[in-house]
Amino acid sequence: MSTSFEQGVNTLKRLIDAPIASYFSSCTNCGICSQACVFATETEDPKYTPIRRLEPMRRVWEQEYTVVGKLKKLIGLSKKLTMQDFEDNVHLTFESCTTCGRCSMMCPSGNDIVYMIRKMREALTAAGLAPKELQGAAVRTIEKGSVMGFPMNTLESMIEAAEEETGIKINVDEPNVDYLVLLSSAEVMQFNEIIGALAQIFEQAGVTWTFSTKAHEAGNPGMHMGASEIEAIMINNIVEAAEELNIKKVISPECGHAYMAIRWEGPNVIGRPYPFEVYHIIEVLDELREQGRLKTSGTEDARLTFHDPCQAARRGGVNQPQRNLLNMVTTNFIEMKHNRACNWCCGGGGGVNTMEKTEPMRLKIFHRKRTQIEELDVDTVVTMCATCRNTLEEGMEENNMDIEVLGLTEVVANHLLKEKES
């Protein structure tokens, strides 16, 4: 047995806890989870049934922790797990699963399949089988504090450009302000207009805020890999930055997985409570709206709909704030048939969009989202996740869909009430 395979198997043995044992025991193989998974519905291939993705884990559970399984193993009636099983499973748990959580939500037995997928990923990572793209992102994150590997001076140049465009001073490493703002790599490198948008919104609302040179990004490849030690490094950087600057509120960017990592998983990963509170940027904007500090004028002329990011909406619980904000700036907002926690995944999350080899699959499963959008006859799709935005734009271009994709923060900023209007 190779060392890496042994590490993978031992990791699985360690990770199979009481919840996982109960999930396998209560699963009736009803197949409803396959109806919730965009990969299963769009390929019509039973191997993409979410619970079937966990066969290596199920086999270890049965052989090591059940009486019947131990007996079958003893008399040679149980198939031995091999490195090939692990290698084959990489496609099912890394390359064709976004950990969107729709399967967990739809399971009639209440089994958290995503919880098990994350553990399966951890075992594959221990066996040295994490996709090279995620491994590279992890190295860049540790060495440079950025998933894409950009240095802090890249962000600083974006900040200078935003200051010049808006005429607003943007703080870096400023202590005792209201908020520490975190970004994602995609926002810095592709959608950096969000920096100026935040500056204008916070200026109007009288909010004080800052970026930190120690922790400017919340993206976390450790979460995708199931590598808690890597996830903890990034989270600890954020915690230390907030502590040093004496900041009690941290803003997660328009990135679903960043939000899950820093808001919901962080304290458990680092083993201690935060000395601050974490909010998704859209939660903050909605709070400012409720307080009467966010004032807008005019509305979007285009017919538009909203794509709810899986991690922020379904798994993170942010479902109403985005609608409150959209209703401030549009009279032509049309809901998708499946929305909020029930929305269909865009197909790019969970690290899937970082892997070049997954492109054909991503484009194939985009058919579900394309159908959702086209039946509404809209001009614009708004979302609140940079990964979703990237995936939507890629799918639209491939399908020759003349539909604009926008980030919600920028949409709000575009309708801020100007001083001369007030």
Last residue of one domain, picked from the residues 129, 150, 176: 129
CATH of the domain at 324: 3.40.50
Last residue of one domain, picked from the residues 84, 104, 129: 129
Q: Which tokens go with 103?
A: 């399967």
Beta pairing partners, 336: none
Instruction: Indicate if 170 and 247 belong to the same structural domain.
Output: yes
Q: Is the pLDDT of residue 102 over 90?
A: yes
Q: Shortest CA distance to 351 belongs to which of 138, 34, 127, 190?
A: 138
- What's the structural domain count of the chain? 3
For residue 292, the Cα-to-chain-centroid distance in whole angstroms is 30
pLDDT at 87: 97
What's the chain's average pLDDT? 95
Per-residue pLDDT reduced to its tens digit, 238-261: 999 999 999 999 999 999 999 999
Q: Does some domain include residue 296?
A: no
CATH of the domain at 47: 1.10.1060
Instruction: Indicate if 400 and 281 belong to the same structural domain.
Output: no
Share of the chain above pLDDT 70, in %: 99
Instruction: Indicate if 272 and 308 belong to the same structural domain.
Output: no
pLDDT at 151: 86
Counting Cβ atoms within 10 Å, is residue 246 exposed (0-12), middle (13-18) or buried (19+)?
exposed
The sign of the dihedral angle between the CA atoms of 13, 15, 21, 27 is negative
Q: Is the pLDDT of residue 422 over 60?
A: no
Domain coverage including residue 390: 304-421
Q: Is the pLDDT of residue 421 over 80?
A: no
**Region 370-395 average pLDDT:** 96
Instruction: Indicate if 272 and 172 belong to the same structural domain.
Output: yes
Per-residue pLDDT reduced to its tens digit, 193-215: 999 999 999 999 999 999 999 99
Instruction: Indicate if 123 and 139 belong to the same structural domain.
Output: no
Q: Does some domain include residue 244?
A: yes
Task: Using the CB atoms, write b or e for 36-72: b if 16+ within 10 Å.
Answer: bbbbbebeeeeebbbbbbbbbbbbbbbbeeeeebeee
Determine contact, residues 344/372, Cβ cutoff 8 Å: yes
Q: Is the pLDDT of residue 2 over 80?
A: no
Share of the chain above pLDDT 90, in %: 93
Residue type present at position 343:
N
Q: Which tokens go with 25?
A: 């025991």
Per-residue pLDDT reduced to its tens digit, 137-175: 999 999 988 999 988 899 999 999 999 999 999 999 999
Instruction: Indicate if 41 and 91 belong to the same structural domain.
Output: yes
pLDDT at 150: 87
Q: Which tokens go with 302?
A: 């285009």
Q: Which tokens go with 200?
A: 């204008």
Instruction: Indicate if 315 and 399 belong to the same structural domain.
Output: yes
Instruction: Indicate if 359 and 318 belong to the same structural domain.
Output: yes
Q: Shortest CA distance to 139 belongs to which of 255, 234, 211?
A: 234
Beta pairing partners, 277: 249
